[in-house]
Amino acid sequence: MLCRCSLRQSRIFPQSTSSPTPPCGVSVSASKNRVTASQLIGSTPAAAVRAISLPVHHCLASWADHSKPAAPPIVLVACSGGADSMALAVSAIDSAHRLGLPIHSVTVDHGLRPGSADEAATVAAYLQEMGACAHRRGPHLEGPSGTFFDEKPIFHLSPDLEGHGPEGDARTLRYGAIARLAHELYEDAGGRSTVLILLGHTMDDQAETVLLRLARGSGVGSLQSMAHTRPFPLTVAPGLVSADSPVEAMLLRPLLGVRRAHTLAFCQELGCPTVDDPTNAIDGPWKSADGSPLRRSAIRHRVLPAIGEALAMDPVPALARTAELARDDNEALEHYASHSFATAVRPLVSNEGNEGAGLALDIETIASLPRALRRRVLRHACVGAGVKAGNLSAEHLMRVDELMTAWKGQGPIHLPQLQVWRTKDSANRPVLCFAPKAPGS
């Protein structure tokens, strides 16, 4: 695969002038005194370096140990140039080389501010100098390999792109760009190697996410926050997928047990250049719809310090622990809810006896379940009948639940893309029916 990166002068990154050759076989200008990531970290790294390099190495080594020798996993590390992702990227390049794994990096330019394209170019050049096959994606690059999605034209980010505000839209585009590149790497490997996508989220990011979701009234399913490891499905050519195919891609966050201060210390210890993104500042250029700071910036710069001052303690470890405990509880609830759903689900049969789109649930099977389980079963049913999970609210599920627990002959419940009603089946047993709405209704 062609690795496209050009080196440009940056106010943050020093200009390089020598020619290393990374694993993808593409050279880039760099200094004559070029040092790779493994040389930079060394065989006996300092404590500030070990705090990052060890969890990253353990993460990659565990995957390398369980892979087939003929099909090692492909490492793809996302790096914006901030301290978190830069520390992750340099550590990942070092570990991948020591383990004999192919290593790629991707830097996504969202086009949010002047100079971002140059910064993305210099980040990619630095990572290629460190030993990665560096890729860039963004709205300023020419040609299919420079767009966020090959099928779509070049465009600039807009706060109204998906209606989720600048933070949500930037995340959507960023993950889309990463998924597209992972898809290319998977296909280039013939569908034999899992792509390991590394993200630089830290314990501080975890704590911020918990507070954001608490403020929105989220349940335990949302409080579980970010997972250390989760599958990341790709859309690949059908001929590449077989019963023996590995998982297409995995999303890995090896730094969730690490503090943001540790990643900064890593970069300072090794002299790694970093990008200071003004959009993360409390007075940054992007604002919420009401003109106030972006929610995550407000949590980071105002709320967490205020909590720490009020409680005379650092709240981040406790909030991150809450996320871990919530994940354990959520996994248990999902296990039992999935079993209950499988027991209660029925085909949706019309009055003429024909099976139609949608599904039905046997009310007597689930009505006596604890409410937390029962509403998870209802969520499974709604999603199974065609509703996007993100369009379901607690209010929606409460109204559907009342068709079982507070039945007074009320009519159908209208949800996004779905209607739900209570009736009886051919055996005279009460059921809940979930059917997609007709187009335009």
* Annotated binding residues for ATP: 80-85
Whether 353 and 359 have beta carbons less than 8 Å apart is answered as no
Identify residue 49 by its one-letter amino acid code: V
Strands 103-108 and 418-424: unpaired
Bin 149: left if φ > 0, else alpha if -120 < ψ < 50, else beta: beta
Residue at token pair 């090692």 = 72
Query: How many Å is the Cα radius of gyration of the chain?
Result: 25
Nearby residues of 142 by Cβ (< 8 Å), 6 or more positions away? none
Q: What distance in Å separates the CA atoms of residue 245 and residue 427, rounded to the nearest whole number?
A: 44
Q: What distance in Å separates the CA atoms of residue 311 and residue 196, rounded to the nearest whole number?
A: 39
Q: What distance in Å separates the CA atoms of residue 83 and residue 48, rounded to the nearest whole number?
A: 13
Q: What distance in Å separates the CA atoms of residue 154 and residue 2, rounded to the nearest whole number?
A: 20
> Structure tokens of 412?
């159908």
Nearest Cα to 87, choosing from 246, 274, 222? Answer: 274
Whether 349 and 237 have beta carbons less than 8 Å apart is answered as no
Q: What distance in Å separates the CA atoms of residue 228 and residue 210, rounded to the nearest whole number?
A: 15
> Structure tokens of 344?
């209660």
Give the full edge-to-edge strand order of the sheet including 345-349.
345-349, 355-362, 430-436, 418-424, 413-415
Distances (CA, A) of 307 to 75, 205, 207: 38, 16, 12
- Binding site, annotated residues: 80-85
Residue at token pair 């290393």 = 20
Cβ-based neighbour number of residue 213 at 10 Å: 18
- Enumerate the H helices of 228-315 as residue ranges: 260-270, 295-298, 304-311
Whether 130 and 5 have beta carbons less than 8 Å apart is answered as no
Q: What distance in Å separates the CA atoms of residue 297 and residue 212, rounded to the nearest whole number?
A: 11
**H or E element, residue 106:** strand 103-108
